[in-house]
Amino acid sequence: MTVFGVHASHEQIHPAALLESVVHAERAGFDAAMCSDHFAPWSERQGQSAFAWSWLGAALQATTLPCGVVNAPGQRYHPAIIAQAIGTLGAMYPGRFWAALGTGEAANEHITGDPWPRKDVRNARLRECVDVIRALLAGEEVSHDGLIRVDRAKLWSRPAEPPALVGAAVSVATARWCAEWADGLITVNAPVPHLRAMIDAYRDAGGRGPLSLQVHLSWATDQAEAERIAYDQWRSNVFAPPVCWDLETVEHFDVISTQVPMERLRQVVNISADLGRHTGWLEEYLDLGFDRIFLHHVGQELGPFVDVFGTEVLPKLRTR
């Protein structure tokens, strides 16, 4: 049975309101939650960016939902600290927490003052971080000298079973690479042929574990309002790598997104006032074999979306 979750976007919504929305989502019939982990939003209009790890403890305590986070260890976060955070949440909420690991974006990582590495270096750094995190979660004392450095680290509070470490990818090549080390794969909505190619690359390379998809969508009772919400909140997020990886400030994202056409936005956000159309899009993702689908309404008011999708969309998907 596919899990249908809600995505909590820290960049767009105050953390207290976001917590209320996740509690609401559980009551409305959503099965799970996930959240982002950034230092800055992608636009001044989004206007938030809370600390994900503080919020996750509150969300796990306030609900019975399994929760996950997408994190980038290696620059802003030392992998030993991320291992400790994962271990603590795993120990407190057994079987309910997972972490997806990726190579990050300069918008969040430049704050350390360290140079932003090339993508191949970031991949190598992440691979080192994964090994360090796994070893610490297994109870080993870890020392490491490489792209990251660790000196005699040991976790003293650990879960009986380490939480899953999921690979975050948006390209076929990265999906194939994640198969070397990940306990599952997570990506974002894209054209069906691209998603199918990513899944095939991951599985053909021996990738194990569940397949997860984050779906960006905009819904309102009126088509014009659905379009307005998407354009206001998400037009700064239409840029493919390496552009989105390498821009450093909110101002940079806002400047380059001043003239984004609506048709470009439709390529990254499912925009419609028609619930049947949203259901159809989600059915296509189900047919690809995704085990977990997290819905991200890109607006800043989640209540109506949670209620309507919980009542009108999720039940139809669950009868397939």
Q: Which amino acid is at 226?
A: A
Q: Which of 11, 105, 109, 128 is catalytic?
A: 105
User: Would you say the C-alpha torsion 110, 71, 119, 129 has a positive or negative sign?
Assistant: positive
Residues 6+ apart with CB under 8 A from 91: 157, 158, 159
Q: Which of 7, 38, 296, 297 is catalytic?
A: 38
DSSP string, the chain: --EEEEEE-TTTS-HHHHHHHHHHHHHHT--EEEE---SS-SSTTT-----HHHHHHHHHHH----EEEEE-BTTTB-HHHHHHHHHHHHHHSTTSEEEEE----HHHHGGG-S----HHHHHHHHHHHHHHHHHHHTT--EEEESSSEEEEE--SS--SSPPPEEEE-SSHHHHHHHTTT-SSEEEE---HHHHHHHHHHHHHTT--S-EEEEEEEE--SSHHHHHHHHHHHHGGG-PPTTHHHH--SHHHHHHHTTT--HHHHHTTSEE-S-HHHHHHHHHHHHHHT-SEEEEEE-SS--HHHHHHIIIIIHHHHHT-
Active site residue 105: yes
Active site (catalytic) residues = 38, 105
